[in-house]
Amino acid sequence: MAEDDLPWARLGFREEAAVFESPSQNARVLTEGWVEQAMFCPSCGAHPVSRFTNNRPVADFVCARCSEEYELKSQKGRFGRKVIDGAFATMTTRLAESNNPNLLLMNYDQKRLSVTDLIVVPKHFFTPAIIEKRKPLALSARRAGWVGCNILLSEVPDAGRINLIRQGVLVPKAQVLAKWRETLFLREQGLTARGWLIEVLKSVERIGSPVFTLDDAYAFEPHLAAMYPGNQNVRPKIRQQLQVLRDRGLLEFVGRGRYRLRTIN
């Protein structure tokens, strides 16, 4: 193993950092300390990433080399379909901003004090379709009327979930960086154009077979038409998006109206 990769071989937390009586406070200290000590930047590979000062409203970490920002969410059990996030208005504003942070999702084993799973969702996969508005807080609440949001992980395509650690096994750094680069072209797109590409990519993933036909993709026409009611030419739009995804290497055209979905991770 190269010397530069040695910190990435450590999955355990620094137990001496846990000094609080509150289990949640200790979990936060341990998980944030691990990221700061052991994680490399999934964008450029630099190690380590740095912690922002406390009480910053959005991101938790930043890479000094490429300036990518990261927000960390961690818990003992696996994440479900949704992840609770902050204010809905703040999140919707952030969608079009260049400094919207990437999302780190960490699962850990409390008994072994180690990381079991870690994925990153690059910020270019954040579109209005994955942000769910929550009900305002009750009038009796301390922040009465405050409106939060959920991040719908179920609406993020597989290409937007980059594994760094999977079931206690480290994913090679080269593989992480390669998968990050595969979808970086999405940042060149405006929010609506990016949304179309991601929705078509999700649709072909849901076909359930790596090889599919145009007719298979057209089966999602009603869903896409409902999402984009202003577009009256959904089928041509689907073909256009498939061409872009093919040109960018996420799909392969195999002839006679058939495509193959590439598996990156």
DSSP state for residue 136 in the 8-state scheme: P
- Write out pLDDT tens, residues 150-166: 999 999 999 999 999 99
Q: Are residues 107 and 215 in the same domain?
A: no
CATH number where 212 lies: 1.10.10.10
At residue 192, the pLDDT reads 92
**Residue with structure tokens 């145009």?**
214
Q: Are residues 57 and 157 in the same domain?
A: yes
Task: Give 57's pLDDT tier (boundaries 50, 70, 90).
Answer: low
Q: Are residues 31 and 55 in the same domain?
A: yes
Using the 3D structure, point to which of 188, 205, 229 is the last residue of a domain. Answer: 188
CATH number where 113 lies: 3.40.210.30
Q: Are residues 96 and 152 in the same domain?
A: yes
Q: Are residues 29 and 151 in the same domain?
A: yes
Task: Give 3's pLDDT tier (boundaries 50, 70, 90).
Answer: very low
- Write out pLDDT tens, residues 75-117: 998 899 999 998 999 888 888 777 789 999 999 988 888 899 9
Q: Are residues 184 and 196 in the same domain?
A: no
Q: Are residues 7 and 134 in the same domain?
A: yes
Q: What is the mean pLDDT of residues 119-138?
A: 95
- Write out pLDDT tens, residues 14-31: 665 555 556 677 788 889
Q: Are residues 17 and 138 in the same domain?
A: yes
Distance CA 211, CA 208 (A): 9
Overall number of domains in the chain? 2
Which amino acid does the sequence have at 136? P
Residue 241, domain extent: 191-261
At residue 16, the pLDDT reads 54
**pLDDT at 34 > cutoff 60:** yes
At residue 15, the pLDDT reads 60
Q: Residue 51 forms beta bridges with which residues?
A: 61
At residue 167, the pLDDT reads 93
- Write out pLDDT tens, residues 220-260: 999 999 999 999 999 999 999 999 999 999 999 998 889 99
pLDDT: which is higher, 190 or 16: 190
Q: Are residues 196 and 125 in the same domain?
A: no
Q: What is the mean pLDDT of residues 192-212?
A: 95
Ordered DSSP codes for 99-123: TPPEEEEEEEETTTTEEEEEEEE-G
Of 45, 65, 66, give the one whose Cα is nearest residue 187: 66
Using the 3D structure, point to which of 165, 188, 211 is the last residue of a domain. Answer: 188
Distance CA 27, CA 13 (A): 10
Q: Are residues 182 and 78 in the same domain?
A: yes
At residue 69, the pLDDT reads 93
Q: What is the mean pLDDT of residues 207-216?
A: 95
Using the 3D structure, point to which of 155, 188, 221 is the last residue of a domain. Answer: 188
Q: Are residues 16 and 145 in the same domain?
A: yes
Averaged pLDDT of the chain:
88
DSSP state for residue 74 in the 8-state scheme: E
Q: Which residues contact 190 (CB under 8 A, 6 or more apart)?
A: none
At residue 6, the pLDDT reads 44
**pLDDT at 2 > cutoff 50:** no
Q: Are residues 128 and 46 in the same domain?
A: yes
